[in-house]
Structure 1
Amino acid sequence: MKPVFISKTRKPFVNITLLAGDIGAIKTNLALIRFNRDSFSVLNQQGFHTKDFASIHEMLQAFSQGTERPEVISLGVAGPVQNDKVVLTNVHWEIDAAHLSQLWDNTPVFLLNDIEAMAFGLGTLKPEDIHTIYMGNEGGQGNMAVLSPEAGLGEAGLFWDGESHYPFATEGGHCDFAPRTPLDVEFYTYLQKKFSHVSWERVISEAGIYAIFQFLRDKKEREEPAWLAEKLLVHNPAEVIGEYATACSICNETMEHFFRYLAYESANIALKLKATGGIFLGGSLLRQNSHLVDKHVFHRNFCSSGRLHAFLEAIPIHVLANDKLALLGAAYYATHVAVPDPTGHLATL
């Protein structure tokens, strides 16, 4: 059973080929997808390093060589979309939907936030796409929230109107980090000296994992083995720390704090959105490190918000295992929310 059903507020296309994208600051995934009535088929998918390209147009051209030309382009992008334009938060790219459409012979182009796209993707979930941390109240309805820590921390909500869910983007990952323990206060001070403003994204992200590690090593004098130091110099630090969390004390402690902070911020968004329908945790960091999550500890930290403990205790918490969710969500948006207007062009609700 799908955890959410997003109503088809307009009659969807019967048959269409579209180019969907999940555009991140570090990695980008593109896919040519065929939609036929109520199912999506991925015809071609390819991953790219975002900074290898000067623009999204250049990347789309590289992907599309030798493939069927899309009838629609729909892109989930890591940044705040306003008036069909976006400047990606952690990479110097500007994307203008109207200009990109002109470069593609007036092919309709749609932009939405990448975590908003992930939220739309919940409408395509299969049972095997979900790993449950805590079941919560069975049959619970209401608003939902999606959090996805990767290069940054993305957050989105789904508003429940009593019948259907409607995804919306937020920039909640840039809200202030709130320390709770004496160690957290030390960590906050450590980060504030580096960045001035300390957001949750500084803590719950790939860079956040390494920041926790550096704090434990440099300020709390945890031992860093020589072999680990060598690996950190040549590989992605967050990946290395996660990989060796079960074999190395400082890596294990780092990941314990990372998941503690993730539980805290998951509770924050649950309270702010009254997300009684569930919390969904996505992104590659969670998929790669889900085996490190102690479900009981995570849920205890999630519920430790004072007088609202009982409210939080009823909320389901899930990890999203499908690595194509943002792509499928961008496709869902294009086929169910972006619809033909009377002139035959595409419009959005």
Structure 2
Amino acid sequence: MSIAKDENIVLAGDIGGTKTNLGLFSRGKRRPVAKVIETYPSREAPHLEFIIEQFLNKHRVSIKSACFGIAGPVISGRSQTTNLPWDVSEARIQKRFKWSQVGLINDLTATAYAVPLLNSRELLSLNKAKARKEQNLALVAPGTGLGEALLIFGEGQYIPVASEGGHADFSPNNEAEVELWRYLSQRFGHVSTERVLSGPGLVNIYSWLRDSKRFSEPAWLVRSMEEIDPARAIAEAALTEKHPLCVASLNAFVSILGAVAGNLALTAMTTGGVYLGGGIPPKILPKLEEPIFMKAFTNKGRFKEFLERIPVRVILNDKAALLGAAHCAFGRLAQRV
């Protein structure tokens, strides 16, 4: 890693329930440029500072500013992570590492910062609608959990708006989804959208269909779900093996994802576009390109034609949140100057 003596370097982080990405970035002409990126298993660390220390012991460099996108609500510079037993604090990190600027933002806010910076090679369009410039954008990101965020355009710039919409109520759209809701209600009590649209959510859908006796569960699939991540095993069996139980599970997942994305588009009038982020969409592209997603996205009665004019794109850059956090870190540095 070569860094010029007078080069401003920021530290960016994307902290998820499964893994944590940390990267050093310089200021590029159009967007931050990664110098080095490292990935760490989140659940093996007692706290975020432990991972930061590991990273800095390997990459010794003067850091001007730092920003971390974290999976969970951030209130007054502090976050109790949703899927990790961590209490993360801007003030504590700043005191520990003696940096002048430290920012803690929601991970979907970090990804939202990156959306206007992405190029065409980092996006896949699911429809032919063209984006309207300087209009609101929406972001829906299923992964370990479900993230949602907005980019509201005003006064010549996009303003990211954090959300915990993934924990809002799951709203069934048909009789089958009502059955799914009843099944999950018996298990969890409150059924949030994240209980359906996430890696564990896909497993929940699969379990409901299996327990309904609609489909048989082969021994090889049980073994596969024991050997690798169950959600990955289900998705791969749906896309490659075409097993009926897994195909039905993934179809239901994609349909619900389309409905949720369409709801968010209506809620915030996101005529600039809807973006699908998170770890799952890039892994199920063949299924997203089938009619299921767009049919559910536009199935809003009198507003069907309105939604047909909104572009929907999948974010292919798996480091988008890290890029957005770096952009935020440079923004804080500029404010200080």
Structure 1-normalised TM-score?
A: 0.90
Equivalent position SS for 1:222 = coil
Residue range with higher mean Cα deviation, 135-144 or 266-275 = 135-144
Give the 3 Å change call, closer, same or farther, for CA 294–340 of structure 1 in structure 2: closer
Partner of 2:323: 328
**Structure whose residues are more often helix by fraction:** 2
Query: d(CA) in 2 for partners of 1:28 and 1:289?
Result: 22
2:24 counterpart letter in structure 1: L
Residue range with higher mean Cα deviation, 188-197 or 31-40 = 31-40
Query: d(CA) in 2 for partners of 1:213 and 1:263?
Result: 18
Partner of 1:21: 13
Give the 3 Å change call, closer, same or farther, for CA 68–230 of structure 1 in structure 2: same
Partner of 1:10: none
- Which residue, 234, 251, 258 being the options, matches 2:253? 258
Identity %: 32
Query: d(CA) in 1 for partners of 2:251 and 2:292?
Result: 9
Partner of 1:159: 152
Partner of 1:133: 126
The 8 Å contact of residues 280 and 318 in structure 1, kept in 2 or not, is answered as yes
Partner of 1:8: none
Partner of 1:121: 114
Q: Deviations over 1:267-318 (max 9, x none)?
A: 1111111111100001111111112223433211111112221221111100
The 8 Å contact of residues 203 and 212 in structure 1, kept in 2 or not, is answered as yes
The 8 Å contact of residues 139 and 276 in structure 2, kept in 1 or not, is answered as yes
**Which structure 1 residue ranges, 5 or more long, are not aligned?**
1-13, 345-349
Does residue 102 of structure 2 align to residue 109 of structure 1? Answer: yes
Partner of 2:212: 219
1:153 counterpart letter in structure 2: L
Query: d(CA) in 2 for partners of 1:138 and 1:186?
Result: 37
Query: d(CA) in 2 for partners of 1:32 and 1:302?
Result: 38
Residue range with higher mean Cα deviation, 150-159 or 32-41 = 32-41
Q: What displacement does 1:259 show?
A: 0.4
The 8 Å contact of residues 134 and 295 in structure 1, kept in 2 or not, is answered as no
Partner of 1:55: 47
Equivalent position SS for 1:191 = helix
Give the 3 Å change call, closer, same or farther, for CA 253–82 of structure 1 in structure 2: same
1:27 counterpart letter in structure 2: K
Say what the alpha-carbon RMSD is for the aligned residues: 1.6
The 8 Å contact of residues 141 and 276 in structure 1, kept in 2 or not, is answered as no
Partner of 1:306: 301
Q: Deviations over 1:28-47 (max 9, x none)?
A: 11111122454422121111
Q: What displacement does 1:87 show?
A: 0.7
Partner of 2:91: 98
Does residue 289 of structure 2 align to residue 294 of structure 1? Answer: yes
Structure 2-normalised TM-score?
A: 0.93
The 8 Å contact of residues 12 and 23 in structure 2, kept in 1 or not, is answered as yes
Q: Number of aligned residue pairs: give it.
A: 329
Does residue 187 of structure 2 align to residue 194 of structure 1? Answer: yes
Residue range with higher mean Cα deviation, 86-95 or 332-341 = 332-341
The 8 Å contact of residues 120 and 333 in structure 1, kept in 2 or not, is answered as yes
Equivalent position SS for 1:42 = strand
Q: What displacement does 1:138 show?
A: 5.0
Give the 3 Å change call, closer, same or farther, for CA 302–77 of structure 1 in structure 2: same
Partner of 1:347: none
Query: d(CA) in 1 for partners of 2:281 and 2:179?
Result: 26
Q: What displacement does 1:219 show?
A: 1.5
The 8 Å contact of residues 149 and 283 in structure 1, kept in 2 or not, is answered as yes
The 8 Å contact of residues 15 and 37 in structure 1, kept in 2 or not, is answered as no
Does residue 30 of structure 2 align to residue 35 of structure 1? Answer: no
Q: What displacement does 1:66 show?
A: 2.8
Q: What displacement does 1:27 show?
A: 1.4
Equivalent position SS for 2:126 = strand
Q: Which of structure 1's runs of 4+ aligned residues deviate more than 4 A?
A: none
Equivalent position SS for 1:244 = helix
Query: d(CA) in 1 for partners of 2:301 and 2:213?
Result: 29
Does residue 277 of structure 2 align to residue 282 of structure 1? Answer: yes
Q: What displacement does 1:64 show?
A: 1.5
Equivalent position SS for 1:224 = coil
Query: d(CA) in 2 for partners of 1:221 and 1:284?
Result: 29
